[in-house]
């Protein structure tokens, strides 16, 4: 505890937040999105923002190996049962999506779900993702971000500083499709819509992209 009697920020982010995210981002509508995001994965896959392994049950049999990157060590522990139950081998290779310890052009697909919102320098992370993808490889993504509705987007801008403090740097207002295209990707599929829940929190970008 801090001298003021509040839970230490480091303890909250390292121990409490991964458990909250594991509960908040599982089941129902989100599981259906995870299944769609994992559909079509094959060969060598890199998952940036592996977290507690909520995508693991949806890996298709065509995946030969998943290399996992995530900064939350507690989340890795939470993923253990899901990884053990999967026929797809998972190898933890790094902590930072901005500096991937993977060779150029060495993976067939990259999977990111509710991850780009939290990476401090998302442009660098997308550049790294582009670097490690093989020619013709694909980025599969499901992310929340900036609403096209001006009133909702204004609320997202107001709420983002608080959201970042409470949820590990999470931004509500990133224009995900533009960020991906600006990083040198061509969007092959894109579905944008609100999920159930408060509009500032639920505008979703779901799709696939390939390096140009």
Tens digit of each residue's pLDDT (9 = 90 or more) over 137-179? 999 999 999 999 999 999 999 999 999 999 999 999 999 999 9
Helix (H) or strand (E) holding 44: strand 43-48
> What is the pLDDT at residue 41?
98
Average pLDDT, the chain: 94
> What is the pLDDT at residue 7?
46
pTM: 0.93
pLDDT beyond 90 at 46:
yes
> What is the pLDDT at residue 1?
37
User: Measured between alpha carbons, how far is 53 from 95 in angstroms, rounded to an integer?
Assistant: 14
Q: Once rounded to an integer, what is the mean pLDDT over residues 83-92?
A: 97
User: Measured between alpha carbons, how far is 212 from 209 in angstroms, rounded to an integer?
Assistant: 9
Residue identified by tokens 């490889």 is 137
Helix (H) or strand (E) holding 142: strand 133-144
Residues 6+ positions from 154 with CB-CB distance below 8 Å: none
User: Measured between alpha carbons, how far is 100 from 85 in angstroms, rounded to an integer?
Assistant: 26
Tens digit of each residue's pLDDT (9 = 90 or more) over 177-206? 999 999 999 999 999 999 999 999 999 999
Rg of the chain over Cα atoms, rounded to whole angstroms, equals 17
Tens digit of each residue's pLDDT (9 = 90 or more) over 122-136? 999 999 999 999 999
User: Measured between alpha carbons, how far is 52 from 83 in angstroms, rounded to an integer?
Assistant: 9
Dihedrals φ, ψ of 41, to 5°?
-65, 145
pLDDT beyond 50 at 6:
no
> What is the pLDDT at residue 142?
98
Tens digit of each residue's pLDDT (9 = 90 or more) over 97-117? 999 999 999 999 999 999 999
> What is the pLDDT at residue 10?
81
Two structure tokens written together for 208: 């696939």
End-to-end Cα spacing for the chain:
49
> What is the pLDDT at residue 14?
87
Tens digit of each residue's pLDDT (9 = 90 or more) over 14-26? 899 999 999 999 9
Q: Please, what are the domains in the chain?
A: 9-211 (3.40.50.150)
Q: How far is CA 34 from CA 16, 40, 48, in A?
A: 23, 12, 14
**Local confidence band at 13 (pLDDT 50, 70, 90 cut-offs):** confident
Q: Which of 142, 197, 199, 144 has its CA nearest to residue 167?
A: 144
> How large a percentage of the chain has pLDDT more than 70?
96
- At residue 133, the 3 state secondary structure works out as strand
């Amino acid at each position: 505890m801090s001298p003021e009697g509040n839970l230490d920020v480091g303890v909250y982010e390292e121990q409490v937040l991964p458990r909250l995210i594991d509960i908040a981002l599982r089941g129902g509508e989100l599981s259906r999105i995870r299944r769609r995001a994992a559909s079509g994965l094959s060969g060598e896959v890199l998952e940036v923002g592996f977290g507690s392994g909520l995508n693991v049950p949806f890996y298709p049999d065509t995946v030969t190996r998943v290399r996992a990157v995530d900064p939350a060590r507690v989340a890795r522990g939470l993923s253990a049962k899901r990884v053990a139950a999967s026929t797809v081998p998972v190898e933890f290779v790094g902590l930072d999506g901005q500096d991937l310890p993977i060779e150029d052009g060495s993976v067939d697909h990259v999977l990111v779900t509710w991850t780009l919102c939290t990476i401090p320098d998302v442009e660098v992370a997308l550049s790294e993702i582009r670097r490690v993808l093989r020619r013709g490889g694909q980025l599969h993504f499901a992310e929340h971000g900036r609403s096209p509705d001006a009133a909702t987007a204004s609320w997202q801008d107001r709420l983002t500083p608080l959201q970042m403090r409470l949820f590990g740097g999470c931004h509500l207002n990133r224009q995900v499709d533009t960020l991906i295209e600006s990083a040198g990707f061509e969007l092959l599929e894109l579905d944008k819509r609100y999920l159930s829940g408060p509009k500032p929190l639920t505008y979703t970008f779901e799709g696939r992209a390939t390096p140009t």
